[in-house]
Amino acid sequence: MLWLIAVLIGSACYAFANVIDNYFSNKIFRDIPSLVFYASLFNILFIPLFFFKEIPSLPTIVELPYLIILGITGVAYLFPYYKALQHDDTSVVVSLFSLGKIFVPLLAFFLVNERLSVFQYLGFIIIIISSALLTWNGSKKIRFNMSFYYMLVVAFLIAIEGVIYKHLFTSISWATGLVWSLVFTFIFSLFLFLVPQHRRNIISQLHHFKNNFHYFLIEELATFGGTAFKTLAISTASITLVEGVISFIPFFVLIYALLFSTLLPNLFKEKITARDLIKKGLLFILMIIGVVLSVQ
């Protein structure tokens, strides 16, 4: 049962990080490029922690293009992710990360001719339908919230990251891969400074970064904790079980919403009426079933 405790703690950590991301994108940094820049800058500050594990090695010429792509995707996915948080509830946006379960096997199918099972196809269909219903605006015409389309882009970019990481980790260490991907992510975020309007906004938002430095620290620690506990769970249980339970992250977001609705009502937006909770709960469970099927 150690793996189950670990993955539940990891899910709670990830959920808390998502709550803070919502706070940043809706309350502090309405300008997304500025938030992307400062988030990338803060990640760089965490690089020295990796040196306690090992000294990252220099990438080879063969590995360099993959790390550059990771740097690009590391910046690119943040834009639609933060935009999605501005358009929908945190729990809904977080649940849409499950769309990534569709792209990874499909990319594997096209790149390495990996065959998919009937259960995987069924899982994909369940995930797509559940995601669509979560973001449906309730009108007679089928019209979904923009968060669905934003997170579709996010899921695709993260799937590309996953495939590249899987390839890189066959030749380089975990620390080397992560450190250099963070370095290239920050390098590409610096290109925002070349655009005069973004540069002005980034400079004008500097005081927000300073005043909320502690929140950036908490968000990064929560993300790190989520990754650490998830990795621990994977080391002792099957990936199918871990991926299924980690999909409970949206439920933790709802728990935080219920707690903060009275303690910190202005922290983040989340619809928590009885009707909304029932709808979200049922669709989240459906998505978990889809995730379990898709990772078989």
Q: Which residues contact 44 (CB under 8 A, 6 or more apart)?
A: 182, 183, 186
Identify the residue with better confidence: 105 or 41.
Answer: 41
Highest mean pLDDT among 23-27, 103-107, 268-272 belongs to: 23-27
Q: Which residues contact 129 (CB under 8 A, 6 or more apart)?
A: 286
pLDDT band at 200 (very low <50, low <70, confident <90, very high): very high
Average pLDDT over residues 145-152: 85
Sorted by where each begins, the domain ranges of the chain are 2-294
pTM of the complete model? 0.83
The proportion of the chain whose per-residue pLDDT surpasses 70, expressed as a percent, equals 83
- The pLDDT tens digits for 231-248 are 667 666 766 666 667 778
CA distance 184 to 98: 26
The proportion of the chain whose per-residue pLDDT surpasses 90, expressed as a percent, equals 11
pLDDT for residue 133: 78
pLDDT for residue 164: 83
CA distance 105 to 115: 9
- The pLDDT tens digits for 280-289 are 888 888 888 8
Tell me which of 46-55, 108-117, 149-158, 164-173 is least confident.
108-117
Please give the backbone phi and psi of residue 240, each rounded to the nearest 5 degrees, phi first.
-60, -45
Residue 154 vs residues 26, 72, 240, 293: alpha-carbon distances, Å: 18, 13, 22, 21
- The pLDDT tens digits for 217-227 are 898 888 878 87
In whole numbers, what is the pLDDT of the chain averaged over residues? 81
Whether the predicted pLDDT of 228 surpasses 90: no
Whether the predicted pLDDT of 272 surpasses 60: yes
pLDDT for residue 80: 94
Question: How many CB atoms within 10 Å of residue 159?
Answer: 21
- The pLDDT tens digits for 115-140 are 667 777 787 788 878 877 777 766 55
pLDDT for residue 62: 85
CA distance 93 to 151: 7
